Each structure stands twice: as structure tokens, then as C-alpha cells.
Structure 1
């Protein structure tokens, strides 16, 4: 019995003479066959590197990221945090053993984290919490509701929920409402300092004029370094003393240090060469804002050593 069907390749209607006919013509059948073959080749091409990585004992950071299914930056983060071991074999080459990746995964089993609850504690974490409890004061914690935190501290609900989970803020639930530890919330907001004793404040515009920081950079910097802030009539103010202490802008006028541009003009070197010389000769470096300051005595010593070698 003849049936009208739609071609699986071009989408046109045709009359099928058998129950298994999917294509309207031989050309469409050949095109579908080529497409299936191409998808199979693409799959093999994508799976071949992963299969090869499983046979390698030593991996670069990029290959380790492919094997773990994460980004290369996250592999660097694991190494910096000490969760994953890595070995540096040269100034530009570092490797990771596949056995170290497997041991890291075996030592960190998955624990489901529910909002408001802490992960299942281990023996080491129990001992640490016990020591912290012994050294902490016996004063009871003061709890405040989420609505009061949003109204008093002018924060968003999403920030409250995310910060409470990330910083493990103690939570108690009463009558269907969440109450948070006031001291922990103020610590996350950078309000642990005595606000009344601070007299010198800056707005975002003044911080940009003095330190060259954009509004987003000032906000992130204050959150990361717990800089005291206050809000008055919808305007956020930042402590100028704490910003200046962290940014160290007074070092720009210090004659003991010189900028990379000054070294480049004095010795006729490119910034890439100066960066290499700083690493090789161990020149003391300080970062102030977006500028790198080099100790002038170390720079003169390094240039004298290069001149002695005829460089």
C-alpha cells in the first residue's frame, strides 16, 4: 500500500513504495549517508584526545583540564590552593601526574550541600571547630531576619543567600523565616570596624579621581578586602584610610622605587626584557594600582651584573 511520507533529508513529501523508505530519491539517501559518516568522524576526532590522555601518566595543565572536564584556570586554582600537586620542570613548563588527580578525587567524595546546612564534617573539621569554640567567647550570637538585613544594609536577596552559603553564616529557622548571625553578616559586609571613628570617606567618583579605580573595581576591591563602607541617602561611601593603606599610593613618591617606564627610558629596554630581568635577578617588585614599582637599588645591581657580562 502506497503511503505519503516526508523525506528525512530534504523535507519534501513523496510516495513511499515500502515501509522502510525514508528518502524521496537516491540523492537524498546519499546525502544522509554522508552526514552520518561525517558525524561519526567528528565523534571519533573529539573522543580520540581523551582516550589518548587516559594512557598518559604525565599531563600538562591544558591536558589535565581536558581529562577532568574543567577549564585550565580552574586547574591552576586547584594547584594554588594545594588541592592538586604539580611539578615545575622549567620556567614555562609544569606537569601533573594522573595518579595525583585520581588521589585528589578519591580524597574529596561528593557531599550534597543544602542551603542552610553545612556539609558532613570530617574528623579534622570537628577538631578545628572544637578549638575555635574553645577560643571563642561565650557570648550568645545575635540573630537578625533576612528582611531586616535587606532593609538595614541595603543588600539584594540574592547577595544574602549566596553569601550565607559561601561564608557558612549560622542560620536558624523560626516560623518559616530565616534568621542570620548579625556578627557574621557584618563581617561579610566589612562593618566590623568602628564606623564612628572613621572621618575620611570617599564616593565612587572621588575614588576614581584619587586612585584611578572604576565604580565596579572599587566595589569589588572593598568586598574582597573588607573595607569599611557606609550608605547615606542611597550613596555608598568607602573609607579613604583603608583604601590608601591597601593601594599604597604614597610609594609612588618614594625615591627608593622606580616604575617600569622609568627603567625602560633609562636603559633602553622593552617591558618584556625588564620583566625577564626582574625574575632572573630577583628584583623586589611592588604593585601599586596598575603600576609595578621596582626597587631602584636592585635594578642598579642587576644592570651592573649585566654590564659585567657584556649584555
Structure 2
């Protein structure tokens, strides 16, 4: 009785004629062979740049990015900041020495820095030997963190941290571990250094003085914007933000200065779209007229507000002179 197998290429069941048959037809066998050959060629294409780089001392920015495992733009950033040395040969050609990359990496060893701390290697070496702490294995992390600081620290419980700084429990644990916040365990509860929590979660005096805050949804509704645009504007214009219980809040005062809802609600101004609809023109034509006639406009967010009085006066003159509003 002949055995049935699944084709190694298409997955269909077939009756095999011999014990070594893997494919249901010659077509599948040829297709599988072509696929193996393509994988080999792709592997060679991927390895060739690395092999070439290994034998070169002077690298272009693209090859330096491949060697470092980053993007070419990041290599340009390192050069502009003076962290990496590059030599310009012409207006369109520059090279980086492999030895300069190795020197840059050797001169910047990785080390974790606590927020607001200025500990160095000498202070770490002078800490208490780990043998004296072996009896308290459960508290090693908190005790070792506390030994890095010579000054006495004030500790508060995790519940107090969540109440004071308005953070979630999961966010508290993750942030404390990530930033190596000094902590200790008493009666099964975690206590954290108040000084370091102030530096990590505390707000500045400027932000603390603000009284009106808007959630993301509230800002989207009030200013007719999107979440992505709101985040971009807040980043570019340095709008104060704060985070409470996993939600982001934006300063209403600064958003009002950016989006100017008072001007939008005023009858003295109109947008480009409103002017185009009123005079039966395109937005491009309105923009050309504004630029040509030097009509006053105010930039509000991503929109331009036009002074209605000046626009109506210009449009009336164009109608009397040319018989239409169109751009001549």
C-alpha cells in the first residue's frame, strides 16, 4: 500500500512513489529549488556589505550606520554634536574612520544615572560589602540603593506616593525600578524616597501655579483638533502638561493662547475656507489675494484668520475694477 504525504512546497496531500519523494509534482520541486536559490542570494546580498565594511578603514555615513546598527540620520546627528569625528573630502563626500567610532564608543561607557544624583564610581566602591547584607535577601535592592547616598532619606509608602503624585500602582513600580529609586520594605509594604519621587513625579512651580487643565478629549472638542495635532503642538510650543492616573492633561491657558478661541468666535475675523465659500473662489485664490493686497492675517494653530473689514474692502474694489472677484 502506497503512503500519502504532504507536499513540502504547496502542502497538498499526494501518493508518493518512493520513500524520498518530498514534492507532489515537478513544478513544486522546481519552485522549491528556485526559492532556496533566492534565499541564498538574499543572504549573500545582506552579508556582502558587512564583509566589505570589515576590510575598510574609511567609511561613508551609510556604511558607518550599518556598522553601528543605526540610521544614517543618527550618524549625522552624532557628527553635528561633535561626538563623532568626520572628514569632508568635497561638498558631497565625507568619510568616518573606523578607529574614531571605536574611540567614541570606548569614551562613553554605559552607566545608569539616578535622577538628581551625582554619584560616581568612587562613591560606589566605598559602599558596605555585600556580605553584611546577605541575611536580608528580600531587601537587597532597597538597602543597596539607599547605601549609595550618604544623607538620610525620608521614605513614604506606596499608597502615599499614589495619592500625592496621582500615579497608578503599576506605573509606580515600573518607574521606581527603571530609575533605581531608593526603597525599603517594612511589614510587607514598599516605602520610597520622597526626595527622588519629587524629582521623578513632582511638578515645577510654573505648572503647580496653573489651575485650569483639559483632558485630551476635552481639548479636541473645544479647539476642533485631533489627538496627533494636539501632541505635536504641545511638543513644539512647550505647552505645560501633566499626567494623573494614566491620563494626560494640557494647560488651558497655553492652549487658549495657541488656538485663540476668542478670535475664532469674533465676527471681525474669518478663515480662508469661509472667505472662499462666501466669494465662490478656491482657497488658493483667496491666499493669492491676501498676499498680493497685503491683507492682515493672524496665524492661529494651523489656520489663518483674516480681517473681514480689509477683505471686504479689497473684494469690493476688485468687483468695481474687474467686474469679478477672480484673480487677474
Query: Per the alignment, do residues 49 and 175 of structure 1 end up closer, same or farther by CA in structure 2, a change over 3 Å counting?
Result: farther
Using the alignment, how far apart are the partners of 1:139 and 1:128 within structure 2?
Answer: 13
Q: Aligned-pair distance for 1:23?
A: 1.4
Is residue 186–residue 192 contact of structure 1 (8 Å, CA) maintained in 2?
Answer: no
- TM-score, normalization by structure 2: 0.50
Using the alignment, how far apart are the partners of 1:235 and 1:109 within structure 2?
Answer: 35
Q: Which residue of 2 aligns with 1:59?
A: 59
Alignment of structure 1 residues 71-90 onto 2, 5 Å: 71-75=71-75, 84-87=84-87
Using the alignment, how far apart are the partners of 2:191 and 2:106 within structure 1?
Answer: 36
The structure having more radius of gyration, on CA atoms, is 2
Query: Per the alignment, do residues 63 and 203 of structure 1 end up closer, same or farther by CA in structure 2, a change over 3 Å counting?
Result: same
Q: Which residue of 2 aligns with 1:155?
A: 167
Query: Per the alignment, do residues 215 and 34 of structure 1 end up closer, same or farther by CA in structure 2, a change over 3 Å counting?
Result: closer
Q: Which residue of 2 aligns with 1:68?
A: 68
- The answer for unaligned runs of 5 or more in structure 1 is 119-123, 131-136, 248-264, 266-288, 291-311
RMSD: 4.8
Q: Aligned-pair distance for 1:32?
A: 1.2
Q: Which residue of 2 aligns with 1:191?
A: 203
Q: Aligned-pair distance for 1:33?
A: 0.9
Alignment of structure 1 residues 7-86 onto 2, 5 Å: 7-75=7-75, 84-86=84-86
Using the alignment, how far apart are the partners of 1:153 and 1:14 within structure 2?
Answer: 67
Q: How many residues align?
A: 224
- TM-score, normalization by structure 1: 0.52
- The answer for unaligned runs of 5 or more in structure 2 is 126-148, 259-290, 292-300, 303-328
Is residue 143–residue 181 contact of structure 1 (8 Å, CA) maintained in 2?
Answer: yes
Q: Aligned-pair distance for 1:37?
A: 0.8
Using the alignment, how far apart are the partners of 1:200 and 1:58 within structure 2?
Answer: 57
Q: Aligned-pair distance for 1:235?
A: 9.2
Alignment of structure 1 residues 96-107 onto 2, 5 Å: 96-106=96-106
Q: 2:190 aligns with which of 178, 187, 208?
A: 178
Using the alignment, how far apart are the partners of 2:14 and 2:184 within structure 1?
Answer: 67
